[in-house]
Every structure is written in C-alpha cells, then in structure tokens.
Amino acid sequence: MNDLPKSPDDCETMIEVRAGVDATDRALIELFATRFCYMRAAARIKPTRDAVRDEERKRAVIEAATAHASAIGVPTAVVAEMWEVLVEASIAYEMDEWERLRG
C-alpha cells in the first residue's frame, strides 16, 4: 500500500484531503526545523547582538516569499502575514541562541 497522500486533484473524500493536509503539515514542520537550524548557525556566526536584527534582510525575505507566492498562485497577503510571524519568531530564537552561546 502507498503511504503517500493523493494529490489534491485526485482526492475524492475528506479523509483523503485530511491525509494530504496532515502530510503537508509534517513536511512543513521538518522545513521549519531546518530553518531554525540556520538561525542557530546565524547566532553562532554573527559577531554582535545588534547584528541579529536586520530590518533590511527581514524586508527582503518577506518580499521574496510574497513574490514566490504570487508566482505560484498562493494568496500573497496570507504569506506576508505568516512570514512576518515566522521572521519575527526566527529573530527571537536567534537572539536567544546568540545570548545562550555567549552566556
């Protein structure tokens, strides 16, 4: 039996839809874990606490995410809002890691 969920276009029941959503959520969490590993690396590399918050980089990351969303037909306002939260959470995490490493 194939454990992979059906594609959205092939789903015929809500059970199949939910299986696809659940599998997608698990994949997103794995990707978030990788992203936060990069935040730990940034905390290790950045020389000063002030270097952790970079508003220009934050803006660029959100703009890139919304541009990609637009290109593939995902609602840009939703992505912009989610990425604002994600980037702020990443900054907070990186700040905590920066302080932990230099404690």
Residue 56 assigned as binding residue: no
Q: How far apart are CA 42 and CA 26, in angstroms?
A: 25
Structure tokens at 3: 């454990």
Residue 94, annotated as binding a ligand: yes
Nearest to 28 by CA among 82, 72, 67: 82
16 has binding-site annotation: no
Whether residue 57 is annotated as binding a ligand: the answer is no
Binding residues for substrate: 18, 35, 46, 94
Binding residues: 18, 35, 46, 94
